[in-house]
């Protein structure tokens, strides 16, 4: 399922560029203007729903915090469960963690140990099929850690989905599953 040029334009034009944020030389892609634009948000969600309706998903996992927005909305449309992937220390129950490297150190994400059912299986012995989603892929460190977490608890991350990909950072390299991005920015 591909996005039409017209729909791509509607979505892309709804995303605001903020120069020199959070530091000089960076152009921040602000999705708040996409979220408050009903036509653009609905266009995006219709596309994602059409793309993933035949995947047989059990869950959508959204990365803290903007992945929660798109993931929860898509999970509702597809009538599947939603699982938050949070930064360390934000989940109240027993968790599984995965560290990942940053340009200036190490960070960590977590999910509940039973997020996708017992041993990652929603029903019986079949691993839960999970779509991972976030707003942006840059270097891919957080998303790769989140995908590893999903697989670590026994579920299967079948694809990683991003609203926007900064292609020049090559973040999609090194994933063990397909990567899909709605928009690509060079």
The residue extents of the domains of the chain are 56-185
Residue 77: strand, helix, or coil: helix
Kindly give the parts of the chain with pLDDT less than 70. 123
pLDDT at 71: 98
- Lookup result for tokens 């596309």: 47
d(CA 184, CA 24): 22
pLDDT at 121: 81
Going by C-beta distance under 8 Å and a sequence separation of 6 or more, which residues neighbour residue 106?
99, 100
What is this structure's pTM?
Answer: 0.95
pLDDT at 53: 98
Kindly report the CATH number that applies to the domain delimited by 56-185. Answer: 3.40.50.2020
Catalytic positions, please? Answer: 66, 103
pLDDT at 105: 84
pLDDT at 120: 83
The pLDDT tens digits for 73-117 are 999 999 999 999 999 999 999 999 999 987 778 999 999 999 998
């Amino acid at each position: 399922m591909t996005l039409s040029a017209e729909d791509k334009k509607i979505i892309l034009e709804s995303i605001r560029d903020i120069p020199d944020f959070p530091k000089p030389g960076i152009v921040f892609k602000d999705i708040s203007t996409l979220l408050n634009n009903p036509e653009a948000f609905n266009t995006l969600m219709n596309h994602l729903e059409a793309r993933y309706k035949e995947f047989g998903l059990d869950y959508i996992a959204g990365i803290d915090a903007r992945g929660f927005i798109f993931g929860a909305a898509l999970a509702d449309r597809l009538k599947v469960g939603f699982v938050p992937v949070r930064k360390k220390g934000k989940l109240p129950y027993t968790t599984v963690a995965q560290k990942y490297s940053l340009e200036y150190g190490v960070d960590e994400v977590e999910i509940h140990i039973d997020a996708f059912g017992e041993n990652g299986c929603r029903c019986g012995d079949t691993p839960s099929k999970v779509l991972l989603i976030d707003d942006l892929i840059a270097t891919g460190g957080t998303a790769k850690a989140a995908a590893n977490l999903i697989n670590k608890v026994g579920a299967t991350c079948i694809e990683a989905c991003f609203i926007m990909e900064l292609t020049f950072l090559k973040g999609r390299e090194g994933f063990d599953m397909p990567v899909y991005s709605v928009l690509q920015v060079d």
